[in-house]
Structure 1
């Protein structure tokens, strides 16, 4: 989190002022802007030091920092949904292994991750794709309450893929 320059620490003589409602008040002397902020019981916060004249806003510095940290946290949270986790299956999967994979997928979906279900066909298994499709459909049906399927399962080479996203 960056530290803001406020009130007398602003060195510019003139500043482009944004008032407490977010409206531009034009270019005013720094001292006049600080005086206006004090009348409202707020701070003069330097928003954009690189521009000429620098842009300052009349705001409660603590509240501004809090709002910006909440926005940043929300942005990070929504970015997390793009992370893809992979769970590998086999067409000859045992019931206990199947249950463990299902539980793992539910954990990932609960944490708002996307999940890629991969089923590898080895040797002669490749001839019996329908066996793998039954297993894949079974797990997709069980997970329908917590996840949505992003397109039907598709076979690419020796791999059967399905991608799940949180509802």
Structure 2
């Protein structure tokens, strides 16, 4: 995936603009989007380059990159004890299926795991990235008590991906519990092997009478 283009690097005539809080602004000329970014002392960041028009979001890019780097560092630090699950959804998912997916996301987050939520666009849906952003945003809001958005929605061809992470204390507690369980299983296995090993013959001591 290519590096995100920001501000003057965005050369398209129009973008689908998303506000700093995830609100839909609409399709605007890139000059107007840059002006809004400047007035708000924010950056214009292209988050879905392949869309038509591309999706751009107003954000503090420096802060975003810093937080992303810190999260990546923390992720590498804990990746040995962290599992990433995947949830796939269609853009036209019905209410029942959505609730099932939401419960699964909550179960994974509650277990201390990260969740990659993926939307697969079909046919002309690829030209409606704002619908994917809206659906992923809804999921993030619905599970906010258990997790946070670690990686904002990004489109790559016909797929849009968002990564949710469990709240830090919960993740650490679950990772530690998982490690203790693994250590206990190893210790139990070693004890069983030692118990099954044949006893060695003991040489007699002293003279026989």
Report the TM-score, using the length of structure 1 for normalisation: 0.51
- Post-superposition Cα deviations, 1:14-49, rounded to whole Å, max 9, x if no partner, equal xxxxxxxxxxxxxxxxxxxxxxxxxxxxxxxxxxxx
Task: Report matched runs for 1:18-167 at 5 Å.
Answer: 79-81=80-82, 83-167=83-167
Let me know the Cα RMSD of the aligned residues.
1.6
Q: How far off its partner does 1:80 sit?
A: 2.8
Cα distance in structure 1, aligned partners of 2:158 and 2:145: 29
Cα distance in structure 2, aligned partners of 1:94 and 1:80: 34
Q: For this pair of structures, how many residues does the alignment match?
A: 90
Q: How far off its partner does 1:141 sit?
A: 0.8
Cα distance in structure 2, aligned partners of 1:79 and 1:110: 18
Counterparts in 2 of 1:151 and 1:78: CA distance versus 1, 3 Å: closer
Check the 8 A contact 1:91/1:120 in 2, yes or no: yes
Moved over 2 A (4+): 77-80
Unmatched runs of 5 consecutive residues or more in structure 2 = 1-77, 168-209
Cα distance in structure 2, aligned partners of 1:78 and 1:86: 16
Q: How far off its partner does 1:78 sit?
A: 7.5
- Post-superposition Cα deviations, 1:102-158, rounded to whole Å, max 9, x if no partner, equal 000011111111110000001111111112211111111111111011131111111
Three-state SS of the structure 2 residue aligned to 1:124 is helix
Check the 8 A contact 1:116/1:163 in 2, yes or no: yes
Three-state SS of the structure 2 residue aligned to 1:112 is coil
Structure number with larger C-alpha Rg = 1
Report the TM-score, using the length of structure 2 for normalisation: 0.41
Check the 8 A contact 1:114/1:163 in 2, yes or no: yes
Three-state SS of the structure 2 residue aligned to 1:92 is coil
Unmatched runs of 5 consecutive residues or more in structure 1 = 1-76
Check the 8 A contact 1:80/1:113 in 2, yes or no: no
